[in-house]
Amino acid sequence: MIVCVCRRISDREIARHARAGMGFDEIQFELGVATQCGQCEGCARDVVAQCSATCPTANIKLADSSLEGSSWNPLSPSLQASPAA
């Protein structure tokens, strides 16, 4: 369904960007949704909120120093932690 008539932006296009981890402000900047007459802003925000709630993005956290070199890293055996004596 077309959400933004002024820019011809569909709910699928908004949802695709939201699933990629973009927030409403980023989608608004990227697509131009809700930048002309503003009548679609509420619907566009609803689409973003629904996608954020049902399709959360993965939050990747870097390992802290205590986990670096753990034995699960088969690619770099020289970096693996050796057992304490």
Options 1.10.10.1100, 1.10.10.10, 3.40.718.10, 3.40.50.150; CATH of 2-54: 1.10.10.1100
Instruction: Tell me the two tokens of residue 10.
Output: 């569909």
The DSSP secondary structure of 6-55, one letter per residue, reads TTTEEHHHHHHHHHTT--HHHHHHHH-TTSSS-TTHHHHHHHHHHHHHHS
Residues 6+ away with beta carbon under 8 Å from 48: 14, 18, 23, 24, 27
- 24-75 pLDDT per residue, tens: 999 999 999 999 999 999 999 999 999 877 665 554 455 555 555 555 555 5
pTM across the whole model = 0.63
Burial group, residue 47, by CB count within 10 angstroms (0-12, 13-18, 19+): buried
